Amino acid sequence: MIALVTGSSGGIGSAVAERLAGDGYTVVGLDADVTSPEQVEAFVDRVENETGPIRALVNSAGVLRPGRAVDLSDADWADTLAVNASGVFHVSRAVARRMIPRRSGSIVTVASNASRTARQNMAAYAASKAAATAFTKCLGLELAEFGIRCNVVAPGSTDTPMLTGLWDGADALRTSVEGAPGAYRVGIPLGRVARPSDVADAVAFLLSDRAAHITMQDLTVDGGASLGV
């Protein structure tokens, strides 16, 4: 079985690739610019012709441009939406077109709990992940008749360079766990940030036959940080 994983070079994507390889998948990291529909189409075509049919897709590529909404540059906004939302569209479209004739396959988009919980200085990121979430659910509705499932995994704070890059030293992990009342942000009830493997486990489950009757769902993996909302 072949699994295509975007953003597989680090963070959550790397953990997903490792987990799926352990589950017996032949994992292919997407080596193309997800913002370019032409590059994506060519890459997916090459994988299908040279490696084999793609059975699973994980959209894990993402960027974060933090900043107050009123201070975001046009480039920050456009680049964030281009990768986190349009990238999901380009790759999912290319793969789904090839899954439809086979009437099988599974797609998981790694979004964020920020897609439904307001966060200061994360307007572009939250908007892009909300768009990716809505798109994936709509895609799942359209592909259900072909036996193709589409789901979302929504991590909260996860121990990756994206998180630690927001703070100095250990402050990223401590602030995530304890919360920041001044920023209207609760902490993490389970008392720790997620490991990338925690998110990868959720992705692997949704791709597997154990989730054969699950589609258009949004599985939150945040230790309770969004209080179940």
pLDDT tens-digit series, residues 183-194: 888 899 999 999
Please give the sequence-ordered ranges of beta strands (E in DSSP) within 23-146, or none if there are none. Answer: 26-29, 54-59, 105-110
Choice among 25, 43, 89, 125 that is catalytic: 125
What is the DSSP secondary structure assignment for residue 83, as one 8-state letter? I
| Dist. CA 41–CA 123, nearest whole Å | 30
Q: What is the pLDDT of residue 168?
A: 59
pLDDT tens-digit map of 94-151: 999 999 999 999 999 999 999 999 999 999 999 999 999 999 999 999 999 999 999 9
> Is 125 tagged catalytic?
yes
CATH number of 2-156+195-221: 3.40.50.720
pTM for this structure? 0.94
Q: Cα–Cα–Cα angle for 95, 101, 104, nearest 5°?
A: 70
d(CA 183, CA 124): 17
What residue segments make up the domains of the chain, in order of their start?
2-156+195-221, 160-193
